[in-house]
């Protein structure tokens, strides 16, 4: 087994790291000051646009999109280390036009959209001129089981009429959000996994009402945001349907593979940043006559963190490699495993870093509390741990003892 990164990955990783050192890290305080001091928190801060222009000028743009000539031509495995580096600062991926939910939405339109849909929505997304949102989860049903979704998408002549109540519609807070991908039911009487469809809905379509922006454990995630959204007799052209009626689950499976692994890559970057902060703090603070770095409990925390990060990185890279070589379906167990392992690992690492930072860790001084909250949210974002564990167990039972018995 070759653990060496490809030459292309090494070259891009070095360039991304230089960009982070020279532009992203020095701009962190500026970014947060501009967001929190703005009269309108849902407008992208000026520093972000400056950084995006710089990254694009350097060719560090649209580095995702495997199997497409619209991206950088990287496989999932090659993209993983770049995504990890971007993940060290939670908003950095947007600077390179590689942030969720835009990456998943762009990949969806690229894979399943018509040429007309690509011209209208994919091109401005790839150019970074607009942003997007994804509307699936609903407050009235357990949306971890997507077959529960109640939003209706009904054909009426040359249009579809959408009615439903969504929440956790990530990205809709941004004033740059111009397009939504909405999942709903076109035929509730069809077989279980062909009832759902996905459709493109411009954000300014009459009948869309953002009821409120949701806090994530006390943070509003501005300027990105997560909205509770009402769709009341929202009409869009029938040509906005993605792939065709009843193909929603098929699209979701294709969309969520790469998107899920991207989150895991960024999580590892966040954990690395927290460990770095932990080590720095340990050499700067003295308690009970000794540096924190000289105390045994600190050694344990640092060692455990390094071990856990390395294990998760290897599992992430294995999942990415399998996605590239045998496909998302065959890699589904590895994808599910890292979806459980990565955020739980990062929560532990960040918690240890918080302990070393004392009371300040709970404030905005170090951003550790926000990092922790984001990692906790990711245990829901792409499906709860229970759903992933269920899939892992079922696949393991089938592999080990061929259970349950196959129908004859």
Would you say 109 and 117 are in contact if contact means Cβ atoms under 8 Å apart? yes
- Domains in the chain, CATH or no CATH each: 7-126 (1.10.540.10), 131-246 (2.40.110.10), 249-401 (1.20.140.10)
Q: Is 47 helix (H, G, I), strand (E, B) or coil?
A: helix
pLDDT at 260 over 70: no
Across 112-176, the runs of DSSP E, i.e. the strands, are 131-135, 152-156, 159-170
* Terminal C-alpha separation, the chain: 39
The CA distance from 223 to 220, in Å, is 8
Which residues face 89 on adjacent strands? none
- Backbone φ and ψ of 74, nearest 5°: -95, 145
Residue 149: both structure tokens together: 């979704």
Q: Which helix (H) or strand (E) holds 134?
A: strand 131-135
How many helices and strands (H and E) does the chain possess? Answer: 13, 9
pLDDT at 300 over 90: yes
pLDDT at 408 over 80: no
Pairing mode, strands 196-202 and 159-170:
unpaired
pLDDT digits (tens, 9 = 90+) for 87-134: 999 999 999 999 999 999 999 999 999 999 999 999 999 999 999 999
Q: Is 168 helix (H, G, I), strand (E, B) or coil?
A: strand
Q: What is the DSSP code (8-state) at residue 320?
A: H
The CA distance from 54 to 47, in Å, is 11
pLDDT digits (tens, 9 = 90+) for 314-350: 999 999 999 999 988 899 999 999 999 999 999 999 9
Residue 255: both structure tokens together: 């969309």
pLDDT digits (tens, 9 = 90+) for 5-41: 999 999 999 999 999 999 999 999 999 999 999 999 9
Predicted confidence at residue 146, as pLDDT, reads 86
Predicted confidence at residue 82, as pLDDT, reads 96
Which residues face 179 on adjacent strands? 132, 202
Q: Is 333 helix (H, G, I), strand (E, B) or coil?
A: helix
The CA distance from 41 to 79, in Å, is 31
The CA distance from 221 to 134, in Å, is 16
Mean pLDDT, residues 240-248 taken together: 97
Name the pTM for this structure. 0.94
Predicted confidence at residue 191, as pLDDT, reads 96
């Amino acid at each position: 087994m070759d653990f060496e990164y490809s030459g292309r990955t090494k070259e891009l990783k070095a360039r991304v790291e230089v960009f982070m050192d020279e532009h992203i890290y020095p701009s962190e305080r500026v970014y947060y000051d501009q967001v929190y001091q703005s009269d309108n928190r849902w407008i992208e801060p000026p520093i972000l646009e400056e950084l995006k222009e710089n990254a694009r000028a350097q060719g560090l743009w649209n580095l995702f999109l495997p199997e497409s000539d619209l991206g950088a031509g990287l496989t999932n495995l090659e993209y993983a280390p770049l995504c990890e580096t971007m993940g060290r600062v939670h908003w950095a991926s947007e600077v390179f036009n590689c942030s969720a939910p835009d990456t998943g939405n762009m990949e969806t339109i690229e894979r399943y959209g018509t040429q007309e849909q690509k011209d209208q929505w994919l091109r401005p997304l790839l150019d970074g001129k607009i942003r997007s949102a994804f509307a699936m989860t609903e407050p009235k049903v357990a949306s971890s089981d997507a077959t529960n979704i109640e939003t209706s998408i009904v054909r009426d002549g040359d249009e579809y009429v959408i009615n439903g109540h969504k929440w956790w519609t990530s990205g809709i807070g941004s004033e740059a959000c111009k397009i939504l991908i909405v999942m709903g039911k076109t035929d509730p009487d069809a077989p279980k996994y062909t009832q759902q469809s996905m459709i493109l809905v411009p954000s300014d379509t009459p009948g869309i009402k953002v009821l409120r922006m949701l806090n994530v454990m006390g943070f509003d995630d501005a300027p990105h945001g997560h909205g509770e959204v009402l769709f009341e007799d929202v009409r869009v052209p029938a040509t906005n349907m993605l792939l065709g009626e009843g193909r929603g689950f098929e699209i979701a499976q294709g969309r969520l593979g790469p998107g899920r692994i991207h989150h895991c890559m960024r999580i590892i970057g966040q954990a690395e940043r927290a460990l770095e902060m932990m080590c720095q703090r340990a050499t700067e603070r003295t308690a009970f006559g000794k540096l924190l770095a000289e105390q045994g409990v600190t050694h344990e925390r640092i060692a455990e963190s390094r071990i856990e990060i390395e294990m998760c990185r290897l599992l992430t890279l294995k999942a990415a490699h399998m996605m590239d070589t045998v496909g998302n379906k065959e890699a589904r167990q590895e994808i599910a495993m890292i979806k459980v392992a990565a955020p739980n690992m990062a929560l532990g690492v960040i918690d240890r870093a918080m302990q070393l930072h004392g009371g300040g860790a709970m404030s905005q001084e170090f951003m550790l509390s926000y990092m922790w909250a984001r990692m906790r949210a990711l245990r829901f974002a792409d499906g709860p741990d229970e759903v992933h564990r269920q899939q892992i167990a079922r696949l393991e039972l089938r592999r080990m003892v061929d259970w349950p018995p196959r129908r004859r």
